[in-house]
Structure 1
Amino acid sequence: MRNVMKTAAGLALAIVLGVPAMAQDTLTIGIMVPTTGSEATYGQDMANAVNLAIGEINAAGGVLGKQLTSTIGDDGCDAQLAVNAASKLAASGVVGVVGGYCSGATVPTLKIYGDAKIPLIIPAANSTKLIPENPGNAFMINSTGNDQVAKAIEYFTAKGIKKIAIINQGDAYSQDLADLTKKNWEAAGNTVTNFEVTNKGEQDYSAVVTSITAASPDAVFWTAYYADGGLLIRQLRERGYQGLIAVGDGSNSPELFKIAGPAAEGVIAFSNPTAEFLPEAKAFAEAYQKQFGAAPGPYSTLSYDAMKLLAWALTTAGTTDSAKVIETLQGANFTDTISGPISFTPEKTLARSNFVVLEGKGGAWTLAQ
């Protein structure tokens, strides 16, 4: 009788707290993204896309006969915050994690998820520094910095550019992209006039701008994030720099235009595929707009596909056993996506390049000609 009373009390408490009464009928997915800090716009958009996918999966019957729920770990695009978020997610009983935007915040979480043997699908972070740190459970579905550099050099070369200035912020993502660009650009017989490192959150770029304008490069390549990149672009144009300005995929947000203003006209971005340029993403974009009251952001498609991929892996493996799910992911040839087919190299990176070239026109991104 005591056990019956305890069960009834537990059910009542679950109902009061809004917790599913039959927890065994759900599987929890961890979402690790920045929901605070300068990159919170990206992070919230990624979380929205994952939850949109979860809603669709549940409506279709769920996974392994169970409904999916999610829990968010805020990494703040900060290494220590990310370690705390990953530790909490790993201890919470999640069957998999979708997340990783800032590479510098993602790198220190790899061991935590690896030790816990939790499958991790990374939709955005793409520094090559992630590869040697991967314990074997993490899968990157955004192309790596190597692919981005190849696209950048291809574009610069086609435009007859010979001299570039490269600016980064010293973090895992932007420094990796900057180093790879410098190495490959110079190996092709070209010149790097400036290789500058700035501080995150810097407001006055006058010293860097002076150095760049004095060197007169054909192009400036900002390899860090949009929040600071927008300010740099504006100050470069205000000081009279007339050459090409290019940014990496950390600055492909529409928010760049709000910060840089008219100075962003003509800026080139080397970008992952975004919803507005993917015909397959039309229904997704409409559903996202309806549910969240805004257009999906730059990493929404990859985050949505990451959740669909994880659900497929769990279903195909027929179990939540992490070793079997990871083995299934390694052999994936997943085509039920909106961003393109997903399969992996032995290093668990995307087996193709997904980068496109965008150009700022009229305060928005368009496909570059």
Structure 2
Amino acid sequence: MRGLLRGLSIVVVCTLCAAAAHGEILIGMAGALTGPNAYQGEQQQQGVEMAIADINAAGGLLGQQIKLISVDDACDSAQAIAAAQRLVAAKVSFVVGHQCSGASIPAAAIYARAGIIQMTPASTNPRLTEEGRTNTFRICGRDDQQGAIAGDFLAARWKSGKIAIVHDDSVYGKGLAEETSRQLHRHGVMETVFETLVPGQNDYSPLIAKLRAAGIEVAYFGGYYREAALLIRGAREDGYRLQLVSGDGIASEAFVQVTGEAGTGTLFTSFRDPRRSPVAAPVVERFRRQGFEPEGYTLYSYGAVQAWAQAVMRAASTETKTVIDALRGNEFDTILGRVGFDDKGDVRQPGFEWFIWRSDRYVPLE
């Protein structure tokens, strides 16, 4: 996988003395660096690394250089707990992550007990910030927002058609599917099929046959890119003109690496794409010169580091409570635009928009 391990910093506790001696501020990055979601974990890793490099090149933070400690949770709840405990043991001041909701939620309780600020650039399940932890922040949108948009869209376009809602039973996928179904019902539209698939399989022919037999015209999928890709590729290979609609879990070129041309025309909601913003242009260009396309969660990870660093500057300290107060009481100029956080820790500004896959890239849906 392209550059997956580039810059990966896995450290042990004995490095803490060296870090302190050199006046470094330790921060953590937790995400899927191995496993089926590692492609998106690399987006997170790349975004955090470049944000830190840019801050350090400008003189650092409070006169100190920032040092990154990256840990792998493989998008798994048990591994996420172990990864969080490693970052706590390393005494980091801040964590960017986790990427998957099913990893982020159990890890959040560990960071709360340790008094470490956590900011996710990717976990969208509402529960993360609804559980009332003051140290937990989210710089991306939530699935109740994303599901509402999807439900409105499905009801408007396929009000008289047959709709299926499918999910992969992950915390993220199931939650997004349920939010979408709930909004669909508010419009008086009921899905014909509500189905769970087993992730990790290589063939979803039985599910595809079931959807076809039920006359399904459009399937909304809550889950990650691999299963979505295999679902639509299998349908196309079977001559079934199913329309696939999904969420931010397929906002990665890894989706079309699996689907090939079968992915063309797939619709999905995802975070607003900051690559189109003039503010982000210099950073986007630097990523591209390095051979990395900053899609998906890359720039949201960069923005999370920016927001935290600006809060540290306002607080003139890395002490948790003062930085939390600064995060909640101010707005910050980031690569995502000007952002602030509400009382729950959710970002106020960035939302979701519609995209469509066109061959090997996705573009905004006009």
Tell me whether 1:332 sits opposite 2:330 in the alignment. yes
| Structure 1, gaps ≥5 residues long | 1-16
CA distance in 1 between counterparts of 2:159 and 2:309 reads 45
CA distance in 1 between counterparts of 2:149 and 2:350 reads 9
1:45 is aligned to: 43
Mapped contact 1:301–1:338 kept (Cα < 8 A): yes
1:199 is aligned to: 198
- The offset of 1:155, in angstroms, is 2.7
Q: Note closer, same or farther for the CA distance 1:337–1:212 as it changes in structure 2 (3 Å cut).
A: same
**CA offsets 1:113-171 (integer angstroms, 9 cap, x no match):** 00001011111011112133352211011100011112213333443444421111111
- The offset of 1:331, in angstroms, is 1.7
AA aligned opposite 2:326: T
CA distance in 2 between counterparts of 1:32 and 1:124 reads 11
Tell me whether 1:141 sits opposite 2:139 in the alignment. yes
Given candidates 348, 359, 364, the residue that maps to 1:351 is 348
AA aligned opposite 1:206: S
Q: Secondary structure at 1:25's aligned position in 2?
A: coil
Mapped contact 1:111–1:133 kept (Cα < 8 A): no
Tell which deviates more after alignment, 209-218 or 118-127. Answer: 209-218
**CA offsets 1:210-244 (integer angstroms, 9 cap, x no match):** 11112223311111001221111101222333242
Within a 5 Å distance, the mapping from 1:269-284 to structure 2 comes to: 269-284=268-283
CA distance in 1 between counterparts of 2:127 and 2:201 reads 25
CA RMSD of aligned residues (A): 1.9
Mapped contact 2:268–2:354 kept (Cα < 8 A): yes
2:359 is aligned to: 362
Within a 5 Å distance, the mapping from 1:49-128 to structure 2 comes to: 49-128=47-126
- The offset of 1:341, in angstroms, is 2.6
Mapped contact 2:40–2:297 kept (Cα < 8 A): yes
Mapped contact 2:129–2:137 kept (Cα < 8 A): no
- The offset of 1:308, in angstroms, is 0.5
Mapped contact 2:129–2:138 kept (Cα < 8 A): no
Mapped contact 1:274–1:299 kept (Cα < 8 A): no
CA distance in 2 between counterparts of 1:212 and 1:160 reads 16
CA distance in 1 between counterparts of 2:308 and 2:316 reads 12
- The offset of 1:350, in angstroms, is 1.7
2:12 is aligned to: none
- The offset of 1:293, in angstroms, is 2.5
Tell which deviates more after alignment, 148-157 or 29-38. Answer: 148-157
Mapped contact 2:43–2:295 kept (Cα < 8 A): yes
Runs of 4+ deviating beyond 6 Å: none
- The offset of 1:352, in angstroms, is 3.7
CA distance in 2 between counterparts of 1:271 and 1:325 reads 29
- The offset of 1:20, in angstroms, is 5.2
Q: Secondary structure at 2:30's aligned position in 1?
A: strand
- The offset of 1:342, in angstroms, is 1.6
- The offset of 1:207, in angstroms, is 1.6
Q: Secondary structure at 1:280's aligned position in 2?
A: coil
Tell which deviates more after alignment, 193-202 or 345-354. Answer: 345-354
- The offset of 1:66, in angstroms, is 0.8
Q: Note closer, same or farther for the CA distance 1:134–1:250 as it changes in structure 2 (3 Å cut).
A: farther
Q: Secondary structure at 2:355's aligned position in 1?
A: strand
CA distance in 2 between counterparts of 1:21 and 1:255 reads 36
**CA offsets 1:82-114 (integer angstroms, 9 cap, x no match):** 100000101111111111111001111011000
Within a 5 Å distance, the mapping from 1:192-231 to structure 2 comes to: 192-231=191-230
**CA offsets 1:40-85 (integer angstroms, 9 cap, x no match):** 1111221111110111111111111111110001111011111000
Mapped contact 1:275–1:296 kept (Cα < 8 A): no
CA distance in 1 between counterparts of 2:324 and 2:19 reads 30
1:251 is aligned to: 250
* Count of paired positions: 351
**CA offsets 1:268-307 (integer angstroms, 9 cap, x no match):** 01011235433432211111233x4321131111000000
CA distance in 1 between counterparts of 2:350 and 2:310 reads 22
Based on CA coordinates, which of the two structures has the bigger radius of gyration?
1
1:6 is aligned to: none
Mapped contact 1:161–1:219 kept (Cα < 8 A): no
Given candidates 318, 335, 349, the residue that maps to 1:320 is 318
CA distance in 2 between counterparts of 1:142 and 1:317 reads 23
| Structure 2, gaps ≥5 residues long | 1-14
CA distance in 2 between counterparts of 1:43 and 1:198 reads 23
Identical amino acids, percent of aligned pairs: 32
Tell which deviates more after alignment, 131-140 or 252-261. Answer: 131-140
